[in-house]
Structure 1
Amino acid sequence: MIPRVFIILFSLFFTFSFAQKKKKARDLLAEIHQYPHGGINKDFKPVPLQKRLTRFPFDKAVKVKIISYNLNFIGSAVPYLPKPPVHIQSDSISLKKYYENFKKPVALENLIKDINHKDIQESKTLTLTEISELSDVLYNTCKKYYIAYTSKNGCFFPRNAILFYDEDDNVFAYFEICFECLGIESFPKEMMDPIETCEFLYPDLKKFFKSKGLTTEYVSKK
């Protein structure tokens, strides 16, 4: 008798648990449909300026600069090198010299190490008002929307960056941005929450860069 009662109770418990899980799944689906990805977040409250500027790296920065670089290179893991002139194609020495002298894309970390920053093509040091505007774009844009997921493209060929300088005028942190691939990476790593790097960030951030006179995409050499 006891085993039979136990089996009945177990069956009832299992049925109840399964029903609860189905209810939770239905509730979750209903919530997703109620708040679709990219929908306006009616409960959005912007992070105030004072709180934004207490976040690293803004809290440690004496100067903030935005820059453009690698504007004349087609984005690729292996940079495109044009075919050498016909008259040197059969001359191994001239051919080697041609490729050695050909200008190559620069990595941001190497650009920063160069004290002259000679590979920076465009730059602007931001005023306090512009820093406020930038931090608002970075930390408030994605929170205006319901974000169900974030995605990352395979390509990443950054042409723009945000540099943060310490009191010795050294870059201690940066964001590098690829507007063509919709990607942002940072040093140190993970300075922004993944949700803050949603696809809705890039149009506003691109608009900010352009409003300060910086180019954000490939520029063909004439």
Structure 2
Amino acid sequence: MKGLATILFLTFTVISYGQDTASNELKPTPTGFVKYSLNKRLSFFPFTSAKQIKLVSFHLQDDAIKGQQRRSYSIPLLNGKVDLSKLTDVVELNSSQIDSLTDILYNDCSKWTLIEQSKVMCYMPRNAIVFYNQKNEPFEYIEICFECLGFKTSSNEIISPDKCDIMFKELQLLFERYGLSTKMSNK
């Protein structure tokens, strides 16, 4: 009986040390950051060179959805340029929407001291921010995968925002608020 009591005591002791408590949770904490102004955010490339900015959704190629071999997942391209005919949802942003977008991209992560960022290795993007030049041609883009919280830029010249879970959640809500699909579709 004494042996059983000892085993039970040791088991409960070990189990109790493995439990997380509310005080041990990793939470972002405010940093007292200095917020980038709209003018400063618009001075970042490619915002500074864009005549228009559009949020877009696209479907992955059929071969990717059916599980067949494909070299890479990305925004549809034709001759190195965004293939506009393959975009399923397109929303042109006005100045207040651009303000909201740049605030999320360049101010959200800076507000917090972040302990860690989620990582999932799927990278199957279905959304992008596309920048158009004076000739109404796409010249740069930031493609986004909301499932794995990742993004890629079309060039190294783009001032990349910091990556954090908070930014991706806010960015996804922005896309959805403007009527763009952010989830996998079987179309």
TM-score interval w.r.t. the shorter chain?
Answer: 0.7 to 0.9
Give 1:161's aligned amino acid. A
**Aligned equivalent of 1:12:** none
Aligned partner of residue 79 in structure 1, secondary structure: helix
TM-score scaled to structure 2, two decimals? 0.73
1:50 aligns with 2:18: no
What is the distance in 1 between the residues matched to 2:82 and 2:49?
22
Greater per-residue helix proportion: 1
Consecutive unaligned residues of structure 2, counting only runs of 5 or more, are 1-24
Is the strand fraction higher in 1 or 2? 2
% same residue = 33
Q: Rate the CA distance shift 1:217–1:120 in 2: closer, same or farther, 3 A.
A: same
1:106–1:44 Cα change, 3 Å: closer
Q: Is the 8 A contact 1:38 1:145 kept in 2?
A: no
Q: Give the structure with higher Rg (CA).
A: 1
Q: CA deviation at 1:181?
A: 1.2
Deviations 1:122-161 (A, max 9, x none): 0100001111110001001101110345564322100000
Q: Following TM superposition, where does structure 1 have runs of at least 4 consecutive aligned residues deviating by more than 6 angstroms?
A: none
SS, match of residue 151 in structure 2: strand
SS at match of 2:140: strand
Q: State the match for 1:213 in structure 2.
A: 179
Task: Mark the CA change 1:107 to 1:202 in structure 2 (over 3 Å): closer, same or farther.
Answer: closer
Quick check: 1:81 aligned with 2:47?
no
Computed over aligned residues only, the root mean square deviation of the Cα atoms, in angstroms, reads: 2.8
Q: Which runs of 5+ in 1 are unaligned?
A: 1-35, 83-98, 100-104
For the 8 Å contact 1:71–1:217, the answer to whether it is kept is no
Contact 1:66–1:163 under 8 Å retained in 2: yes
TM-score, length-normalised on structure 1?
Answer: 0.63
